[in-house]
Amino acid sequence: MQLFNFIIEMKRTEMENCARKYGISSEKTLKVSQELDNLLNIQNKFICNFFIEKYRSFLCDE
């Protein structure tokens, strides 16, 4: 998970640099922003799945 967090931070830095260089609404910045969004969505799904599995017995009547 640490590697994935590092990748997210690298993508965030890339997006910030693109925004400074090309502007916040440039196509390049928006593309990098979408890539960051995808990474964050993957991370959120992983975290949600982890907690669902961990606390399944509390969430479901078995």
**Going from the N-terminus, what domains does the chain have, and what CATH number goes with each?**
2-57 (4.10.280.10)
What per-residue string of b and e applies to 4-36 under the rule 16 or more CB within 10 Å gives b? Answer: eeeeeeebeebbeebbeeeeeeeeebeebbeeb
* Tokens read off for 34: 């979408």
pLDDT tens-digit profile, the chain (62 residues): 799 999 999 999 999 999 999 999 999 999 999 999 999 999 999 998 888 888 877 767 65
Q: What share of the chain is helix, strand, coil (3-state, %, to 5)?
A: 85, 0, 15
Element (H, E) at 19: helix 2-22
- pLDDT of res. 1: 78
